Amino acid sequence: MRTGGPQQAFRVPDPPFVAREVGRFTEPWAMTFLPDGRLLVTEKTGHLRLFDVAARATGEIRGVPAVAYGGQGGLGDVVLHPQFASNHLVYLSYVEAGANDTRGAVVVRARLDLDSSGNGGSLAGLQVVWRQAPKVTGYGHYSHRIAFGREGKLWITSGDRQKFDPAQDLQQNLGKVLRLNADGSVPSDNPFAAQGGIAAQVWSLGHRNLLGIAFDAGGTLWTHEMGPAGGDELNRIERGSNYGWPIVSNGDHYDGTPIPDHSTRPEFNAPEAWWTPVIAPSGFIIYSGSLFPYFRGEGFIGGLASQALVRVRFASGGAQEIRRHAMGARIREVEQGPDGAIWLLEDGANARLLKLTPR
């Protein structure tokens, strides 16, 4: 039993939810709800789908930029501007090709014009807000999750692109959490703003591959990232802090070469929770709805390798896993619906969209 205050006590059912299939997609990566209850769903191959939940009808949003599809790359995250109801701006992340077999993540924004009839629409006035710099070879660790904070700033996760050392270099924005204004300009109060250039974008550094980003009710930012062989992390993101990658990790290199643990280097910010064996985290919400009152304030992390929905409780500035709900498939994305239901996207071809509601 969990208590929600002096007047409340909630008995958590076991299992706590039932899952119902609502739709299917091809290599989906992210989703977000429109004010009218329809869903925008990205597919890695470069399609932005508009899904009518009530009719179970899938349309397409035209005007998506060409993406560099392959490996972990393609079309990524999708979020709405905080004032979407008035400005109709939507933000997308994706991977673009560069010269000499290089690639990098990009965040763009555009006006979403929905068709007056039918289940479709288009993007207009596309504007690049941010780019990974430099573009490098390889097909992994783009991260490119995006979120808006309560003050209207744009937050972007940028992976290390499997290049390790750039995560510690303020002249590159790989392996970082970035904080920008909604138009892509740099806030003057960022921790490294005085250095100018790329460093001015940076809020925190020393990250590996951050595939989840969420704010709790108090405005604290949390991210999770994939570790190497072991050591997946859940981090409380603090201004100007260094999280140690690749100097420290609670995992080791894939070839078995040890990496010093966080405990050996206390000057680096250690994770609040970590996992070995890995869960391969992807997708993340901190629940704030009323449909599951006993979940309010808890985190839900989608597990790829773990094929689970991992439930996390936050307390005293820290966090710990309290339950792992087996889903029988790789979970790519987690989202909270308008009515408080929890929505999941499976990973891969013919992936299911699931709606979780209380038992």
Q: Which residues are catalytic?
A: 141
CA dihedral defined by 164, 168, 171, 173, rounded to 10 degrees? 60
> What would the two tokens of residue 292 be?
């599951």
Residue 135: exposure state from Cβ atoms within 10 A (0-12, 13-18, ≥19): buried
> What would the two tokens of residue 179 be?
């904080």
- Kindly give the pairing relationship between strand 121-131 and strand 57-62: parallel
How far apart (Å, rounded) are the C-alpha atoms in residues 149 and 40?
A: 20
**Taking the CB of residue 257, how many other CB atoms lie within 10 A of it?**
9
At which residue do the structure tokens 């603090």 appear?
Answer: 238
> What would the two tokens of residue 188 be?
């003057």
Specify the 3-state DSSP secondary structure of 285: strand
**Taking the CB of residue 118, how many other CB atoms lie within 10 A of it?**
11
Edge-to-edge strand list for the sheet holding 273-275: 209-215, 221-226, 232-237, 273-275
- Kindly give the pairing relationship between strand 209-215 and strand 202-205: unpaired
206, β-bridge pairs: none
Q: Helices in 100-227 by DSSP H: which ranges? A: none
Rounded alpha-carbon distances, angstroms, from residue 240 to 159, 176, 202: 17, 10, 8
Burial 42-71 (b: 16+ CB within 10 A, else e): bbbebbbbbbbbeeeebbebeebeebbbee
